[in-house]
Amino acid sequence: MRFQYFSFYNSISIKKLLVCSIVVFVTQSAIAQKPVDYVDNFIGVRDANSSCVLGPQLPQGSINPSPHTAPGNTKYDMDCYVMGQPIRGFGQLHVSGTGWGKYGNIFLSPQVGLSTGETEHDSPKNNETAKPYEYAVTLARYGIGVTVTPAFHSAIYQFTFPATDSAHILLDVTHSLTDIATGMKSNNNKFIDGSISFTNTQKTELKGFGNYIGGFSDGPYKVYFCMRVSKAPSNSGTWLNQKIYSTQTTQQSQKDNDRIGAYVQYKTTNQEKIYVKIAVSLKSVEQATEWLNQEIPNWNYNIVKNNAKKQWNKELSKITVSGGTEKAKRIFYTAAYHASVMPRNRTNDLEGFASDVPMWDDHLAVWDTWRTLYPLKVLTNPKMVAGTINSFLARWKKNGKVKDAFVAGKDKSDDQGGDDIDNIIADAFVKKVKGVNWAEAYQFIKYEAEHERVGTTSAKPDSGKMYKKLGWIPAGKMSNSITLEYAYNDFCAAQMAKQLGTANEYNSYLKRSKQWINLWNPEAESDGYKGFIVPKILDSTFINIDPKKNWGSWKNYFYEGNSWTYSYFVPHQLDTLVTLNGGKEIFTKKLQYAFEHNLIDYGNEPAFLAVHAFHYANRTDLTNYYMRKLMKERFTEEGYAENDDSGAMSSWFIFSSMGFFPNAGQNIYYATGGTFSKIIVKMGNGKTLKIISSNTSDKNIYLQSYKINGKTIPKFWFTHDDIVNGGTIEFVMGEKPRFN
């Protein structure tokens, strides 16, 4: 009936109108379907526990300009930003999704008036938007519009000022994340020293450095910078501990924790734009200057922005999805974004390494990322994986060690688990990643197996010798979780030794990989279920503990988990675990109970594989059920199950959405069926993998059958070799369990 209003049109006009409408609709749809347009940077920020960074960055880029707010009432403000709090300014370096933060340095604050104190220029905000390639906000206190877009080591800001004689841009050298993050304040944090200087007569260029202690990783770190403004200021100066030195061109700290910085002042007309471009380096002022000259040679903000947007569309187009809701696409593509920011490529930007040596930084930490992030990159970006492994080997040659966490070019002495770099290397090896000297990589793996399986600080001074002597670590700090991780490290070493080492090495590592069973107590009981990994002392007496207790970080027995969770962490012997639990029926009942009562903590990485343990009891349907339940309940537009952990959580979600999941360090994937009707994976080797999930929906969650390249696969798993050359996976999904 509503078409009666158009009765005066002739049929030709109606056809023209319909054609135009279709063209407009198709054009709008095409624009909306750009992957980067689905990314919501506030996912993982709205939920503070996810700890994601709001500001823009390039894929694996070094710089990450982002707003800082006043502290809030939350333990997770490691990203320097708390929803609902006023904007304090903008830091240039950050880490994403981590439980412990870093950086926040080289701090910019646009103002009307001049306030140098840390808390004196907070501003309410309006019109805040955030995309991977640009952040924008209006500072309501001053009426200043701010936008920023990144290059790889540099960024350009656009400040839009009101009409005023007192427009200022401040650069605070002292400020860091520890000024914001309430959970990180300690006496160990400090600003050691630094300097800042105007380097030309027009006062349009500033250079300097800051030397800091604080955040995740050991020892001091330096951040160097080069900053330029687009217009010569009417006035400029420096400050030291809030004392203004107008016209002064250099300022240097005098003692620890001095507050130093510099400013430029302008007389602006209404809506006048002043641009700031800034580059940072962890190597030298000269390198920061070179980055700025190379990456942002002129003042065209839109060129930088459009390039950033183009790079993100290219990165996010490596995995594209069809079907599903708009909300599902937002969560998926945002996860893909978060899985593409860390570690950061700092080749030629860390002291002590030649410019041509691959150097990947900000591993916070490998303990998080080896399970999902690196297997994902093996599919979509194997060059990044090879580069990271070559970076590990370069660090080993130079430092004689490669620790679990490597941040700001420095190893952190405390590991979170075993020697999990071995797992990344083994995963790439069994999947035949190119670009690595595998004989050299095996020598590193062998060194780790023979010299680095030493545990951590314990009640026994000789506990470091126990793993290789006994096959397990006596009760102490993280003794059980490290034993389990060492066992899997040894299995990974055995896989490489089988092809690259000797028969004795292979047999030795394989034997060691099975000795985790020494910590299995069949009589340990929790909620009526028996059989758990528990600590025992040197005389082999088990200690009675509560398997439901989460012991925390660097505490007794288990790292950030309980025995319920860790008792399912045997990636290489899940079939043995079924037997130890009394067979498939009892195993299923116990594991199902654990999921129903939240005894397995999916907010942390040791649990990642647990839902796939159902496969080994021929209950793929329960894998389907609990995986979908976790995806629905723990991955929302607010954020993730817990810390995103450098993209580890996001990568878990991506694999679960695609319909198969890696057992990292091995050549197998578990089949589950996808959540989108079609997914296209543009693999890093140039091949294309098409994933079809017929009938998939919120109700049709159960895998019925599947084919790879037209061949029906009767097993719950397939190998990397089955898909490495591309092709098609066809999943058939249904409302009732069938494929067991």
Q: Output the six-digit token pair for 454.
A: 């030493």
Q: Kindly report the CATH number that applies to the domain delimited by 38-315.
A: 2.70.98.10
Provide the token pair at 525: 């009981």
- Select from 273, 290, 308 the least CA-distant residue to 155: 308
200, 392 in Cβ contact below 8 A?
no
Residue type, 634: R
646, amino acid identity: S
Q: What are 602-646's pLDDT values in tens digits?
A: 999 999 999 999 999 999 999 999 999 999 999 999 999 899 999
Position 78 scores a pLDDT of: 81
Helix extents (H) in 420-536: 421-430, 438-451, 466-470, 479-500, 503-513
Share of the chain above pLDDT 70, in %: 94
Average pLDDT in the chain: 93
Query: Are residues 429 and 496 in contact, defined by beta-carbon separation less than 8 angstroms?
Result: yes
Q: Is the peptide bond prior to 365 cis by the omega test (within 30 degrees of 0)?
A: yes
- Per-residue confidence at 179, pLDDT binned at 50, 70, 90? confident
Mapped onto helix, strand or coil, the DSSP state of residue 218 is coil
User: Three-class SS of residue 30?
Assistant: helix
Amino acid present at 134: E
pLDDT band at residue 186 using 50, 70 and 90 as cut-offs: confident
**pLDDT grade for 589, boundaries at 50, 70 and 90:** very high
Kindly state the average pLDDT of the residues 511-525. Answer: 98
Please say if the pLDDT value at position 2 is more than 80. Answer: no
Task: Please tell me the least confidently modeled range out of 22-36, 61-75, 368-382.
Answer: 22-36
**For 501-527, what is the mean pLDDT?**
98
Q: Which residues of 203-223 are buried (b: 16+ CB within 10 A; e: fewer)?
A: bbbbbbbbbbbbbbbeeebbb
Closest CA to 610 of 622, 598, 600, 599: 600
At position 397, the amino acid (one-letter code) is K
What pLDDT, on a 0 to 100 scale, did the predictor assign at position 6? Answer: 33
Structural contact between residues 234 and 265, judged by C-beta atoms closer than 8 angstroms: yes
Residue ranges of alpha helices (H) inside 81-151 are none
Residue identified by tokens 């894929």 is 59
- Nearest Cα residue to 419 out of 362, 364, 483, 472: 483
Alpha-carbon gap, residue 55 to 132, rounded angstroms: 7
The pLDDT tens digits of the residues spanning 376-386 come to 999 999 999 99
Q: What is the pLDDT of residues 197-253, one digit of tens each?
A: 999 999 999 999 999 999 888 889 999 999 999 999 999 999 999 999 998 999 999
Q: Which helix (H) or strand (E) holds 707?
A: strand 702-708
Per-residue pLDDT at 526 exceeds 90 = yes
In this structure, which amino acid lies at residue 731?
Answer: F
For residues 669, 405, 102 and 664, what is the CA-based torsion angle, rounded to 10 degrees? 0
Task: List, in order, residues 6 or more apart from 426 with CB less than 8 Å away.
Answer: 445, 492, 493, 495, 496, 665
Summarised one tens digit per residue, pLDDT across range 654-703 is 999 999 999 999 999 999 999 999 999 999 999 999 999 999 999 999 99
Token pair recorded at residue 51: 């700890």
Q: How far is CA 36 from CA 148, 308, 375, 557, in A?
A: 17, 10, 23, 43
Under 8 Å CB-to-CB from 98, ≥6 apart: which residues?
A: 51, 78, 216, 364, 643, 645, 646
Distances (CA, A) of 411 to 17, 54, 355, 366, 399: 65, 26, 20, 12, 9
Pick from 604, 522, 613, 631: which is nearest to 573 by CA?
613
Q: What is the spatial distance between Cα 394 and Cα 402, in angstroms, rounded to a whole number? A: 9
Let me know if 719 is exposed, middle or buried by CB neighbors in 10 A (0-12, 13-18, 19+): middle
Q: Which of 537, 536, 604 is nearest to 564 (CA)?
A: 604
* Residue 99 to residue 407: CA distance in whole angstroms: 14
Phi, psi of 140 (to 5 degrees): -65, -30
CB neighbour class for 522 (10 Å; exposed up to 12, middle 13-18, buried from 19): exposed
User: What was the pLDDT predicted at 455?
Assistant: 77
CB of 80 within 8 A of CB of 94? yes
What percent of the chain is helix, strand and coil (3-state, nearest 5)? 35, 25, 40
Q: What is the mean pLDDT of residues 297-311?
A: 99
β-pairing, 66-69 vs 87-91, is: antiparallel
Q: Which of 176, 91, 153, 93 is nearest to 288 (CA)?
A: 153
- Per-residue pLDDT band for 32 (boundaries 50, 70, 90) equals low
- Are 214 and 407 within 8 A, CB to CB? no
Share of the chain above pLDDT 90, in %: 86
User: Residue 16 above 50 pLDDT?
Assistant: no
Reference 559, options 436, 476, 498; nearest CA is 476
**Per residue, what are the HEC states of 74-132?**
CCCCCCCCCCCCCEEEEECCCCCCCCCCCCCCCEEEEEECCCCCCCCCCECEEEEEEEC
Amino acid, res. 519: L
Residue 33's pLDDT band, with cuts at 50, 70 and 90, is confident
Beta carbons of 570 and 516 less than 8 angstroms apart: yes
Both tokens assigned to 113:
């008036």
- The Cα–Cα gap between 20 and 535 comes to 72
Q: What pTM does this model have?
A: 0.95
Q: CA-to-CA distance for 195 and 251, rounded, in angstroms?
A: 6
Instruction: Dig out the tokens for 211 from the structure.
Output: 């030397």
Strands 260-268 and 235-240: antiparallel
Residues 459-483, mean pLDDT to the nearest whole number = 81
Token couple for 103: 């950086």
Domain extents in the chain: 2-32, 38-315, 348-428
Which token pair is 418? 């075993």
Cα distances (angstroms) measured from residue 432 to each of 348, 359, 378, 386: 27, 21, 9, 10
DSSP state of 541: P
The confidence score (pLDDT) of residue 215 equals 87
Query: Side chain identity at 623, as an amino acid letter?
Result: T
Start-to-end CA span in the chain (Å): 53
Q: In the prediction, which pLDDT does 519 show?
A: 98
Q: How far is CA 5 from the centre of its chain?
A: 55
| Cα three-residue angle 681-683-686, rounded to 5 degrees | 125
3-class DSSP assignment, residue 565 = helix
| CATH class for the region spanning 348-428 | mainly alpha
Buried residues in 39-72 as b, exposed as e (16+ CB within 10 A)? bbbbbbbebbbbbbbbbbbbbbbbbbbbbbbbbe
Using a 10 angstrom Cβ sphere, with 0-12 exposed, 13-18 middle and 19 or more buried, the burial of residue 467 is buried
- CA pseudo-torsion sign 412, 414, 415, 421: positive
**CA dist., res. 90 & res. 87, Å (int):** 8
